[in-house]
Amino acid sequence: MKLNTLRLMTLVLGVAILVSCSRVKKATSKYEQGTKYATEPEMLEVRGDSVEYALSITVAEKAMDKKATVMVNPSLDFGDKSTELDQIVLEGTKPRRGKTPGAKEITSEGAKIIVRNKFKFEEGMEKAQLVAKPKVMVKGYDEVQDQCIACKKRVFSKGISTTGLLLTGANPAEDILESKFTYSPIRKDTKIEIYYLVNSSTFNPNFKVSKVGIDNQVQIKKLKELAKDTSLSIKGIEINGTASPDGELMTNEKLSQERAKSTFKFFKKELKKLGFDEVNDSAFSLNYSMTEDWEGWRKLVEASSLSDKDAILAIMNNRMDNSAKEMQIKRDHAKSYNMMKEEMLPLLRRAIITFNRQEPLKTNDEILAIGLKDMKALEASELMQLGHLMSKPEDKIKVYSLYTALYPNDWKGHNDLAMAYLKIGDSKKALTSLNKAASLTSDVEEKVLVNNNLGVAYAIEKDYAKSAEYYNNAAKAGVSQDQNMALLKMRQGDFEGAVTSIKNKCSINSALAYTMTKDYNSANNAMNCIKSEDKDAKYFYLGAVIGARTDNLANITTNLTRAVQMNPEMRERAKNDIEFSKYFDRVEFQNAIK
């Protein structure tokens, strides 16, 4: 009896499986015949670093078995790689064991299902196929009885357009700012000090105090040596007279004036004899210090080894008037005062002749010639000028690398080195230099340039939030960021937002933004007003893409020919570019990329 029961159960199970198997075959056949797949848009394209897509699945009336479950498994296949995308589940109205979570119900009337998603673009995906690998399943009363059949692979789309990436690459299009440097003569002022006897304004060329190293003849000799130095030009001569703080203020003020006048009168004659024609110019001026030279006295005390110097300095730094200070020092520090009277105060009874000297400016040709031989032979301002004269980023990098090594505390060198790195797309090295530049300046106008360039660096790094932050900081300080913000939107794939704010309408970036928003009339207008010298390989390649999108074969072939001539790498790009897929077999296209 038990044996017969077992046989009967096996027979029933076999029949059930056969029935289920038969049903899944019919369900699969009906589904495959009555279902269409498509992508929206038809041509997938990169925007920013991602590809957005919409999968459209249209199931015809009565094409879905009410007990069937269809698992559409989309994937991106390129080369030997395959990237699985999110699964889509379609289901009839009465599947066994309940409905599958997240499944989209298909009634006997059929339906059109659109699923939107995106994936990150990787190098090599230009030739990728977006495919579906559906499986039709009819559930049994338990999982053991489930029957499943794989359908034929369906192709949604072939290839991904990378036209939106024409903005990026080795040469960023953003406004990158070099320091505002003006090449000006290098000043090398020289001072000569002439000394006077206490309470005297009469100039004595032979006056000397050997104990403290005062000797007017030594100073006059320096003047004669200065006259022999023709490497520098004299742009101005000033004479200032001072007095030591001992004595009455009114007397000292008069002494300052008289000493300056006396020195002026003597040295005007001497300077003429030595060939200083500048004494006849308005640049040759006479000044005098009205106040006593307390600052000079204080510095001498600071540098001294006086045992009570701290107490003396405390008096000097007090807010009492100078007469009271002098009286307190004499009273409380008489011994030190007498020493200072002999060894310090004589050094303050003087007239100071300042020669405003400048090195003659080298011409740009001279700077370039020296730079080619030995950049280290150039002065700081000349080396900076050399960097500004260089047109190639690689040459600028050499110059500014040396500048930052020689003058590490000058923010300009670090900013300009970063600018050169950004020109070749090396954002990491640029950030290192820009962070150093930012730490070396607090000046608002200088900080603006650094912030602008930090924004560009972070845009290349794809840290778009930080990029926008630095652009906004630069904008608050008065530097327009319309262009850079528009390009930031383009880098993120927001071409619609970019066209409303892009500054230069006659640029390849403007034409690209219009192309990506399918406004081909505006794109052509932008292309037509670009200057001849700005028409590079990217320009002609974009012109070919616009030609393909507007079915203009002549524009395709003319522009591709020029693009390949200017940059042979464009040949391989065009061969695999889905933008030209309709023309791959055309002789005209093949000739254009030879």
In this structure, is residue 419 part of a structural domain? yes
Give the residue with greater pLDDT, 502 vs 516.
516
Amino acid, res. 112: K
Domain limits at 453?
Answer: 178-184+361-478
In this structure, is residue 571 part of a structural domain? no
How many domains does the chain contain in total? 3
Domain identity same for 244 and 334: yes
Distance, in Å, from the CA atom of 466 to the CA atom of 457, rounded to the nearest integer, reads 10
Domain identity same for 217 and 76: no
Q: Which residue has the tokens 């060198």?
A: 413
Give the H or E element holding residue 111: strand 111-120
In this structure, is residue 155 part of a structural domain? yes
pLDDT for 251 equals 67
| For range 261-281, the mean pLDDT | 71
Distance, in Å, from the CA atom of 267 to the CA atom of 279, rounded to the nearest integer, reads 9
pLDDT for 171 equals 62
**Rounded mean pLDDT of the chain?**
85
In this structure, is residue 131 part of a structural domain? yes
Domain identity same for 152 and 40: yes
Choice among 170-179, 209-218, 357-366 with the minimum mean pLDDT? 170-179
| For range 562-576, the mean pLDDT | 94
Domain identity same for 342 and 195: yes
In this structure, is residue 15 part of a structural domain? yes
In this structure, is residue 172 part of a structural domain? no
Q: Give tens-digit pLDDT for 51-76.
A: 998 989 999 999 999 988 999 999 99
| For range 13-40, the mean pLDDT | 73
Domain identity same for 350 and 425: no
Domain with residue 326: its CATH number is 3.30.1330.60
Closest CA to 486 of 528, 461, 514: 514
| Residue 119: strand pairing partners | 51
What is the pLDDT confidence band of residue 142, given thresholds at 50, 70 and 90? Answer: low
- Res 263 pLDDT > 50: yes
Amino acid, res. 102: G
In this structure, is residue 283 part of a structural domain? yes
Contact by Cβ (8 Å): 46, 164? yes
For the chain, the first-to-last Cα distance in angstroms comes to: 85
